[in-house]
Amino acid sequence: MNITLEWQDPIKLIRSQHPGKIYDDSFLSDISEEYGIYIFSRVYGGKYTPIYIGKSINLRGRLKSQMNNLKLISQVKDWHPNPNKVEAKKIINGKRVLLVGHVKAASAASKEKAITLAEKGLIEHALSNGTRLLNIQGTLIKYHEIYSENWPKMDGFEQEYLYLRRSK
């Protein structure tokens, strides 16, 4: 299956003035009720770092629910990839943004399959690069870290570290 995601411009998450809300959700009126993928991210120096990747058959409804999920959203606000690394401290200072991608497919069945595959692919790709992602409960997805000493240069294997999601 070939999947095309059409991404909207990033949406900057702005602190809410309402008690009990972390971010303002007035942007929701600009989100369609279509099938798609959403990624809560940080951006620093033009580089986006995913924090949470999700899918929905109704993006507006799902994002409204997620914006009220205080455990998840507070983790998005406070997220850091590794507090001991200098680069991580820069990312903490980055802006909080939401990336929204709409799936291009002919039927509802193919759209549902497409968002399931796209979400899984994006999560696995992020984890394979060592990105620390949150799960729906607002906790970090656990993974194994494999380090290779004296790693030879091979196409597609540029990193000395490999990451593999832990099974449940």
pLDDT per position as a tens digit, 107-145: 878 999 999 999 999 998 888 877 888 887 767 777 777
Cα atoms in the Cβ-side hemisphere of radius 13 Å centred on 43: 13
Nearest CA to 54 among 126, 149, 162, 153? 126
Give me the DSSP letters along 137-168.
TSSBPPEEEEE-TTPPPBTTB--SEEEEEPP-
Q: Which two tokens stand for residue 119?
A: 């979400």
Tell me phi and psi for residue 115, to 5 degrees.
Answer: -70, -35
Determine the pLDDT at residue 75.
87
Over residues 22-68, the pLDDT tens digits come to: 999 999 999 999 999 999 999 888 889 999 999 999 999 999 999 99
Q: Which domains, and CATH codes, for the chain?
A: 4-141 (3.40.1440.10)
pTM listed for this prediction: 0.83
Element (H, E) at 103: strand 95-104
Cα atoms in the Cβ-side hemisphere of radius 13 Å centred on 2: 0
Cα 121 to chain center, whole Å? Answer: 11
Find tokens 């990839």 and name the residue.
Answer: 81
